[in-house]
Amino acid sequence: MSSFSWSCPCCLRFKFSPEEMEQRYKSQQIDKMIEKDKQALKRQVKLLLLGAGESGKSTFLKQMRIIHGIKFETQQIKEYQQVIYQNVLKGMQVLVDARDKLGIPWEDNNNKDLGANLLQLRFNNSVILDSRQFVQYAPTLSKLWRDSGIRRAYDRRREFQLVIKFFQIDNIRFHTHFYFLNNLERIAQPAYLPNHKDILHCRKATKGITEFVIPINNIPFLFVDVGGQRSQRQKWFQCFDSVTSILFLVSSSEFDQVLLEDRKTNRLEEARDIFDTIVNNVIFNNVSIILFLNKHDLLKNKVKDPETDIRWYFPQFKGNSHSMEDVQKFVLYLFTSVKRDQKKALYHHFTTAVDTENIKVVFYSVKDTILHRNLENLMLQ
């Protein structure tokens, strides 16, 4: 004897009360929504930005907004303005302090008092500087920046971490301060608002996790940026679920610098050790990893500098220390050599995160890699 499952709407009303019918309908709608969400998640591209502190992750994320025409909100622009004011003032404080500790004389002795007064000011992230306040400091900043003693201190910035312990500021940010101090007249205008280039150069350490979705080719790209300082890395594991690709950023110019956290660990070696733990993690066996050897412009300047030699920090380097090609090959090898699975693809690009055109070209290539290698089956099924 065969059994029948009565499921047509006309029969269901004999089996269920109106209340049960309504509940059943709501349940079906919820199931449809859940399935729709699952399909949307499949289509979503999740890009995890990893790397040590100051490698350029947040700058890259800013570039993604600029390249894809997503405007910064008015409140964000005001926040960047305040960060820029702090960048400039803290940067000059460090230069004044470094000039003293390095024993560099003032060109103009009248600047001695100006420098001393500036050092008395205390700025932390909770202090909000508006344009009216910053304009008051601008004449002092301008005079100090014109002093050859300050300029000589800037030229010896690689020594800062050895002589400065009072200010919690990283010497690799000084290309940023150089940019802003050279634009001081414009920044000190009462009506000043940061442009895109200013926003790309301003620096504030990322704490916690920042997520931002950008629709690209009708596909939502979720960018996840996490702080790279040692104290922030325990948060990384929270972001490891459903990752499509990892963009690992390295400050390739840091071969002659040490960590702010302990003032002894070489920055490039620290970045390589972090990369080792990521590229060889079984969690990421099926995740494409793209290596961005960032700050290519700063690396180029260091390679040309006759007073800088990568062999002082990496004796195993055997090439011409003033050949950009040789240094690039060596820096790349430092990272590719830690990959244990030689079959696993590893893509790399030399980048300058503050250069919009460079990042635009690189990201178009990266986007194709991600879509073709990671999403082809999902998109076509």
Q: pLDDT for 183-201, tens place per residue?
A: 999 999 989 999 999 999 9
Asked if 48 and 247 count as a contact pair (C-beta separation under 8 A), the reply is yes
Residue 264 has pLDDT above 70, yes or no: yes
Q: pLDDT for 57-75, tens place per residue?
A: 889 999 999 999 999 999 9
Three-state DSSP class for 9? Answer: helix
Residue for token pair 């940026």: 225
Residue 364 has pLDDT above 70, yes or no: yes
Q: Is 74 a catalytic residue?
A: no
Domains along the chain with CATH numbers = 46-71+206-367 (3.40.50.300), 74-201 (1.10.400.10)
* 204 belongs to an annotated ligand binding site: yes
* 232 belongs to an annotated ligand binding site: no
Residue 17 has pLDDT above 50, yes or no: yes
**What CA–CA distance (Å, rounded) separates 217 from 375?**
13
Asked if 203 and 176 count as a contact pair (C-beta separation under 8 A), the reply is yes
Query: Pick from 172, 205, 220: which is nearest to 39 by CA?
Result: 220
pLDDT on residue 159? 72
pLDDT on residue 322? 95
By the 10 Å C-beta count (0-12 exposed, 13-18 middle, 19+ buried), 107 is classed as: middle
Q: Is 59 a catalytic residue?
A: yes
Asked if 67 and 356 count as a contact pair (C-beta separation under 8 A), the reply is yes
Residue 307 has pLDDT above 70, yes or no: yes
Asked if 161 and 173 count as a contact pair (C-beta separation under 8 A), the reply is no
**What CA–CA distance (Å, rounded) separates 67 from 70?**
8
* 40 belongs to an annotated ligand binding site: no
Provide the token pair at 99.
Answer: 């000039």
Q: Of the listed 59, 82, 93, 352, which one is catalytic?
A: 59
Q: pLDDT for 229-256, tens place per residue?
A: 555 555 666 667 778 889 999 999 999 8
* 200 belongs to an annotated ligand binding site: yes
Q: Of the listed 157, 173, 203, 267, which one is catalytic?
A: 203
Mean pLDDT taken over the chain? 82
Residue for token pair 């344009």: 131
Three-state DSSP class for 22? Answer: helix
* 226 belongs to an annotated ligand binding site: yes
Q: Of the listed 198, 225, 254, 270, which one is catalytic?
A: 225
Q: Is 203 a catalytic residue?
A: yes
Q: Is 229 a catalytic residue?
A: yes
pLDDT on residue 165? 45
Q: pLDDT for 106-155, tens place per residue?
A: 999 999 999 999 988 876 655 677 888 899 999 999 999 999 999 998 88
